[in-house]
Every structure is written in C-alpha cells, then in structure tokens.
Amino acid sequence: MRDLDRSGPQSGPDTLGSARLAGHSGSDRARVAVLGWHGSHQRQLRGIARWYETREFADVRTVITPTFRTMGLPGAWTRFGRELARDLDDGTPLVIHAFSNAGFWTMSALLDAMKSTPTHVIVDSAPGFPETIPMRFTAKFATMAMMPGLLSALRREPRLFHPILSPPIAAFFGVWHLLAREQVRYMETGQARVIARLRGVPLLAIWSDADVLVPTEQVSAFVDRALDGGVRVERLHFTDSAHVRHFVQHRHAYFDTIEAFLR
C-alpha cells in the first residue's frame, strides 16, 4: 500500500502534461466511468473527463445518479446498475472514478451487474457511512448533503445547514430511514459488496480531514477493511480540502497521483 499524505496548497503551472498512460494505448485503451456526487453537474464532471481524454483513453463517460429515484424506490439501485452495465461492460477495460457516497453506491450497483472486473478504481470523498447506519446518521448527513442544492434552487447562498429548512428535512430523512429498509440495507452492504468484487484490483482512496460530509474515520475504516479483503489499496490523504474539492484545491497533487496510480 502506498500512502501519500498531502497538506497545504500545491503550486505549479495550470497546464497539466499529456503523457499517455501505460497499458491504455491502441485497441487496448481503457474506458473511464466518472460517477458524480449528489448535486453534481455535467460541466463539473467534464473537467475531470477532459483530463482523462488528454491521456488518450478510449472514451470517458460521465454519470449523474438520479439519487431521489434510487433512494426512493425499492430495487432502483439494482436497476440503475444494470442500465450502466449494459452501456459500460462490453469487454473494454474499465476504470471507475467515483465521487462521494452517491458515486460509491452507484459503483456498488454497477459492480453487482458487471460480468468483468474494472482495471482500476478511484474513490474520492467516500464512503462516508458505517456498515450499520443509524437513523440519526442518515438524518444528519443526508440533510447536509441535500441542503446546498436546495438553497441554490431557491436562489440562496449554498450552505450545509439552514435554521428553518434543515430541521424538517432531517425529520423527513429520519422517517424515510425507518420506512425504506430495503434501500437502507442496500446502502449498508455497499462496502462489503465492493470489497468482494475488487479483491486484487488497485484502488486509490482520496479523502480529507476537513471534509465535513464524509467523516475521515469512516473512510479509514473502509480502507482497513478493503486491505483485509485483498484489495490493493493506495491512499491520497489531504488535511485541508473540502468535500469533492480535492481536485480543485490540490489540482496537481491530485492528478499527478492518479496518473502514477494508473501506470
């Protein structure tokens, strides 16, 4: 396991290199699936996709999970994973780059449906949940995750807590947790299913101590379980970057590490 701890701002030119990644040239070039976080937009994911495209991958697919559908309907995660597998699992070597819990759960559903195994996996800002999720945990962190997008839609400044809106939304998610037992159990088992499918596969875990949406102890616990399960884990650990902002706040360290990881 390679452990790369990063703290403080990274300096360097704005233009990244365009070296071709080893093992991904010609007809054997890999495809990349970039699985976005809840509330992400295609323009944000395209920034990640463009970096991969300069490395001459076969193609790059960006995916935004319909989280209200997958969390709201029994069996929806499984169905969505099968939809993705029909598009992505065609024999082309696949690299998965998943962001936050939404991307992690999407990856778990995709892996469940795939016949092949990805060549490399990158997990950014996830998983931020225990293997048994308490109701209060769901109410607190789901509300925090939803609040910025909701406030933006209301033309208010995005933030994680709102004194008027947050309490009723937290109550809603608490009730949802009690009623949606199938969906909650699917999310709880996501880590174990991912580890079982990625035994022997290189996985790069990226997280930060300053991420208030994904507790660092949850990511560390997942890394330990993955290592015990035979996953070839490498770590990129920051101390000061916000949730899913590591590629913005530490651009060069972020992409340089991914490039070395994929070689």
User: Could you tell me the CATH number of the domain that includes residue 60?
Assistant: 3.40.50.1820
Last residue of a domain, one of 188, 216, 236: 188
pLDDT digits (tens, 9 = 90+) for 62-87: 999 999 999 999 999 999 999 999 99
Residues 39 and 114 in one domain: yes
Say what the pLDDT of residue 180 is: 95
Structure tokens at 94: 């696949």
Say what the pLDDT of residue 196 is: 98
Residues 179 and 236 in one domain: no
* pLDDT over 60 (residue 22): no
Residue at 170 is within a domain:
yes
* pLDDT over 70 (residue 98): yes
* pLDDT over 60 (residue 152): yes
Residue at 193 is within a domain:
no
Residue at 110 is within a domain:
yes
Q: What angle do CA 189, 186, 211 make, to 5 degrees?
A: 70
Residues 160 and 245 in one domain: no
Residues 157 and 124 in one domain: no
* pLDDT over 50 (residue 99): yes
Residues 174 and 113 in one domain: no
Say what the pLDDT of residue 149 is: 85
Asked if 37 and 102 touch (Cβ cutoff 8 Å), the reply is: yes
- Measured distance CA(4)–CA(184) in Å, rounded: 33
The mean pLDDT value of the chain amounts to 89
Structural domain count, the chain: 2
Residue at 82 is within a domain:
yes
What band does 19 get if pLDDT is binned at 50, 70 and 90? very low
Residues 142 and 253 in one domain: no
Note down the domain range covering 103: 3-9+19-131+201-262
Residues 245 and 164 in one domain: no
Residues 78 and 51 in one domain: yes
Residues 138 and 106 in one domain: no
Q: For residue 170, what are the CA distances in angstroms to 144, 175, 209?
A: 9, 9, 24
Q: Specify the pTM.
A: 0.88
Q: What angle do CA 21, 105, 230 make, to 5 degrees?
A: 60
Residue at 84 is within a domain:
yes
Residues 121 and 53 in one domain: yes
* pLDDT over 60 (residue 18): no
Residues 84 and 166 in one domain: no
Residues 152 and 220 in one domain: no
What band does 36 get if pLDDT is binned at 50, 70 and 90? very high
